[in-house]
Structures are given as C-alpha cells and as structure tokens.
Structure 1
Amino acid sequence: MLIIVLSRRKTRDALTALPGQLRRGVVPWPNFFAGLCGAVIVLSEGISVGSLGVATFETSLISGLVISGIVCDRLGIGVERRQALSITRGFGALLAIVATLLVVSPHFEAPKVIALAILPFVGGLLAGWQPAGNSTIGKLADSMLVSITWNFIVGFSALGLAFLVRVALGKASFGLPPQWWMYLGGPLGLLSIALMALLVRRLGLLLLALASTAGQLIGSILIDWLIPALGNQIYGVTIIGALVALAASAIAMVPSKTVAGRVEGTPVIAEAELS
C-alpha cells in the first residue's frame, strides 16, 4: 500500500497531511485510529484461535460485530441515514448471540477457554465501527487508498509497539514462518477492509457485519474440519451454531425503516479509486 500511495503525488500529499489534520481536529479524532480495531482482532487471533478453534473464534466475533452494528446503524455512524431497530433485526442479532453460546458450550467446563472467547467478542465490538472510521478518513483524504494505508499504519504501529515491549521483557522473539501461505494474511486483510469500507454505506454496518461473517463462518468450519493437524475439534453444536449464525444473517437482511433526517458529515466514498 505504501508503494501504491507514495508513488502518486495526490495520494502521497493526502497521506502526509493526515497527522496535521489529526492535530487540528478536522474530524473527530477517534476516526484516525480505526486501525486499532484491526490490531485488536489480529492480537486476539494470535492469542485465542489455538485454544478456541477458528469456528468458535469467528462466532464469538459475530456477537460483538452484531451489537456494534446495531448501535452504529441506529446512531447513524458511517451511514447516510439512521436505521430503526426493527423486530427482525433484533431477532437476527439475538440469534447471532445464541450461535456464540452454542459453539462455546463445549468449553463451559474450562473457564480459561471461555475467558479467551471474550477477546474476539471485544474485537467484534470495535470492528463493527472500523468501516465507519475508515470511511470518514477516506472522505477527508478524498481517497480510500489513503484511508486503507493509514489504517494499516496505525494497526502495525500498535502491534509493533506491543511486540517490542514483550521482546524487552524477554517474553517474545522474532522469527519468520516457513510456510508461504502464512504471508497471505496481510493482502487478504487489505482486501477485506477495502470491501467493507466501500459497502458500508450501501448495506449499513449491521447487515455488512452479518453478511461478511456468514462467509467467515463457512470458511472457519471448513478449516477446522479439513485441517485436523490444527487440533481443533468440530462438535455438533459447532455446526448448529454456524447454521444459526447464517440464519441470523438472512433474517437481518430484511430492510428496516430509516429514521428521518440525513446524518450530517456522512462521508462519500471514492469508489472509482479501487477499480
């Protein structure tokens, strides 16, 4: 992203202007730190997936995303119009929470594992707002490419600082993984953030979160099932929980009434930049 952005004068100037705009308070300062949301998810992945399994991690993440999406859509954060909390949306959100309880249920006797499930839940609470923050920076910079790059700079800086602290304490060391496919995480994350930032205004945060995590759920089940070497067991309730989460996605797709009045300051995404 730095190669792409720094090679063009317009995007280079927009990127280097962001620190000054942050100091001047051009837009609310939390929008500049949406990358911290992604950092929390990456951190929780590294800490908890090994114990929870991919499927349990993803469904715990859904609950946080759903709750965050409901609040953001109702308050009009990142979307043009506020959306009412309809019965169908509320039921879809409830089903997503039930799905999380189902997949975590085999670990109820292990308090440590349950505690680990809190990490992706918190990450989901933050990530539900992340597209709105990135969208605001995209409008300010008149470039989603700059917004995505800034997002990764903030996330990388936070994780890098945390890593250096652990190295200084003697609790971590640096090493590159030998498997080539492990290096795909960054590009896939970039693609995910770009799509979410572009779609948030069309779908709303709740629908976007549920639709995207439906795909994540299917993928997570397949990973745990097709790669037994990871040591993550697939339980019957794991499958049921995934189906319940998918049902939540479908139910929440039913449109709800918009609350009168356009949200001021709603950013407009420069979609042509990613074509």
Structure 2
Amino acid sequence: MSEIVTSADGKWQTRKFPGVALALAAGGALAVQARINGQLATDLGDSMLAAVISFGGGLIALLALLTLVPDMRAGVRRLVDALARRVLPPWHLLGGAGGAMLVASQSVTVGVLGVALFTVGVVAGQTISGLVVDRIGLGPAGPRAISVPRLVGAAVMLVAVVITMRGGIVVAGAGAWLLVLPIVAGFAIAVQQAVNGRVGAASGNAMTATLVNFAVGTSFLVLAWLVSLVLRGGPTGAPTHPMLYTGGLIGIGVIAVAAVVVRWTGVLVLGLATVAGQLAGSFLLDVFLPAHDEDVTVATVAGLLLALAATACASIPHRERGWSAALRE
C-alpha cells in the first residue's frame, strides 16, 4: 500500500490551498446538482429512481469517454495491475457505495427528519470520520495528526451547518433514531473520498477512479431502487426537460476533482471545503435563482461565513508539538 501513498510534504503541501479552492468549487457544483436532482425526483415522484438516473447517466458518459480517451484505458490497466500485485486492496474499489448510501439514507429519512436535520447528521458523520480517516492514513495523503486547528475547524463547521439549517431543524420524535443513518452515511462519504483518492493514485488517472466510483454507486443504487419499487411503488411522472438529466455530468467533475484534491488536502479539509462550497452555492442559488419565495436570512450568511472560517482554520499548516505529535505515536 505504501507504494501509492503520496506524501503530504513537499510539493503536495504547496498544493493544499489550490486544492481547497477546487474543493470549494466542487461543493458549489454539488449545490447545483442537488437542485437539479431534487427537481428530477419531484417530477418523477421517485427520489431513488432520480438517483439511479443521475448516477447511471454519469456512468454512461464515462463509458463513452473510456472508448475515446487512451489515458483512461491506460489507467484501467494500471489499476488492474495494482490489484494483481496487491498494492491496492480490492475493497478500495467500493468507494461509490458511500455515495449510494448517502442517497439511500436521504430517501429513507428526510421525510421523517427533514432536510436540515439530515444535513446536520451527514456533516457530523463526515467531519468526525474525516478526522479519523486522516489520522490512520487511509487516504493517499498519508497520516495526518489530530491538531488543534483541525479540531477547531471541524467543530466550527458543525456549528455553521446548525446555524444555517436551524430554521428547519425539528424534533423528530419517535423517528429520531433514524438520525443514525445520515451520520453513518457521512462516515461513508469520508471513507469514499479517501479510497477514491487511492484508486486515482494507483491508476494514475482521476477519470478512471471516477468511472469505478460511478460503476459501483450505480450498481448499489439500482438494487436499492428495486427494493423501493416493491415497498413504495414506481415513478408517477416522466419529466422531459433535458437539464434535469445533467446531474450525473456534474457528479463526474465533482468526483474527479475530489480524487485529485484529496492527495493535497487530506480527507478532513476536502470534506470541510466541499461543505462550505455547498453552502456558498446554495446561497448564490437562493439569491439569483430562488426555488421558493423565501428571503436569505442573517443566519444563512453567518453560517456561510463560519463554514469558510472553519475550512481556513483546518487548513492552517502546523508543527507537531506537544499532545498533537503524541497522537501519532
């Protein structure tokens, strides 16, 4: 495994801040994707099928690219070789299951918990998992100590999301136990980012890693949709607007960027920057392309600024001294 670990020192350290900027942009793209997929789910009357269409559309586009781009095919060959030489554990190919788990848990829990509480649960799980995943060195950036700036950044991000979403957070009552599902999904997302980075490093091609992610995610989502088809029934509509089918194309860019950037930033900072980018993207959409007649509140702006501050704090380079260095031992 050590053969494909890229050190966070040297040249990768100099790329941390460009990596944060790219992660912020990817988060903004996720906000656009969420708006598109949300409308697709509403028009279909089937949120799980909307996810299948989004992932499946991305997979079809990537398979088409595979036939046209020699570097992607070379990446597949390098990936197969890494698996054969046991440089890359086979389970690292399952990163796409994290995205599928997120969508599935959203479909199951949002009706009970609400979007706000679901989002808080996902961010909490993703942030805690990001700290752990970085600490054990699962991602291609290698082990990263649990430092004070990283802990502060993680805590501030959670506060930022709570402030931003507080108007929609309600007590879930008897269904409160369902909050476990988005928290677990958040854990899975951080692991997904780490192993996708490993796959990207092993294949030497971010688009190859993205193809693997979409293939696995689509497979899991198709199975989940078949289950929901039995339990809930099928779609009730057939939207025709072509823009509603572009969510997968946006996802390709997001996953590819994350597979590269995680080598420079580590999993925690990638996750925080992506969440901050999502909040910023949602804010801009609400200002310029509002979906509802709701005003942007002071809490929304305050939460966004806190999220950006949290990302900046966690990105601060540090010297490992005292208890922070001891945590590596």
The TM-score, its normalising length taken from structure 1, stands at: 0.76
Contact 2:100–2:220 (CA under 8 A) maintained in structure 1: yes
| 1:195 is aligned to 2:261 | no
TM-superposed CA distance for 1:206, in Å, is 1.3
Who is 1:218 aligned against?
A: 280
Aligned to 2:187: 125
User: Which residue matches 1:65?
Assistant: 126
Tell me what 2:235 maps to. Answer: 173
Could you tell me whether the CA contact under 8 Å between 2:77 and 2:203 is conserved in 1? Answer: no
Paired amino acid for 2:102:
I
Give the structure 1 partner of residue 210 of structure 2: 148
Structure 1 residues 176 and 139, CA gap change in structure 2 (3 angstroms): farther
Instruction: From the superposition, tell whether residues 233 and 161 of structure 1 become closer, same or farther in structure 2 (CA, over 3 Å).
Output: farther
* Structure 2: runs of 5 or more not aligned: 1-61
Deviation at 1:28, TM superposition (A): 2.3
1:270 alignment counterpart: none
CA deviation after TM superposition for structure 1 residue 196, in Å: 0.8
**Residue number in structure 1 paired with 2:93:** 32
Q: Give the Cα–Cα distance (whole angstroms) in 2 for the partners of residues 123 and 233 of structure 1.
A: 30
Deviations 1:152-201 (A, max 9, x none): 01000100111122224452237542333222211111101111111111
The change in CA–CA distance for 1:114 and 1:19 in structure 2 (over 3 A counts) is farther
User: Structure 1 residue 101 and structure 2 residue 166: aligned?
Assistant: no
Pick aligned residue for 1:83 from 125, 131, 144? 144
Identity across matched positions, percent: 34
Number of residue equivalences: 259
- 1:256 counterpart residue number: 318
Whether 1:2 aligns to 2:69 is no
User: What do residues 131-160 of structure 1 show as CA deviations (whole Å, max 9, x unaligned)?
Assistant: 221122233334332221111010001001
**Measured at CA, do residues 142 and 41 of structure 1 come closer, stay the same or move farther in structure 2, by a change above 3 Å?**
same
What amino acid is aligned across from residue 271 of structure 2 in structure 1? A
Q: Distance in 1 between matches of 2:83 and 2:254?
A: 25
- Structure 1 residue 13 displacement after superposition: 7.3
Contact between 1:37 and 1:130, CA under 8 Å: does it hold in 2?
yes
| Shift in Å, 1:216 | 0.8
Q: CA 1:200–1:152 in 2, change beyond 3 Å: closer, same or farther?
A: same
Please tell me whether the aligned partners of residues 93 and 252 of structure 1 are also in contact (alpha carbons under 8 angstroms): yes
TM-score, normalised on structure 2? Answer: 0.65
* Counterpart position of 2:48: none
Matched AA of 2:186: G
Aligned equivalents of 1:82 and 1:98: distance in 2?
A: 26
RMSD over equivalenced CA pairs, Å: 3.6
Instruction: State the 1:32 CA deviation.
Output: 1.1
Picking from 238, 244, 247, the partner of 2:306 is 244
Shift of residue 105, structure 1, vs aligned partner: 3.7
Could you tell me which amino acid in structure 1 is paired with residue 217 of structure 2?
G
Name the SS for the 2:234 alignment partner.
Answer: coil
- 1:225 CA displacement: 5.4
Counterpart residue type for residue 155 of structure 1? G
Q: Which amino acid is 2:265 matched to?
A: L
3-state SS of the aligned residue for 1:91? Answer: helix
Per-residue deviation, residues 227-258 of structure 1 (Å, max 9, x unmatched): 55457786554443333222211211211346
How far, CA to CA, are the matches of 2:264 and 2:196 in structure 1? 15
Gapped regions of structure 1 (runs ≥ 5): 261-275
Q: Residues 27 and 104 of structure 1: is their aligned pair in 2 closer, same or farther, counting only changes over 3 Å?
A: same
Report the residue type matching 1:85 in the other structure. I
State the match for 2:51 in structure 1.
none
Q: Which amino acid aligns with 1:167?
A: L
Q: CA deviation at 1:24?
A: 8.8
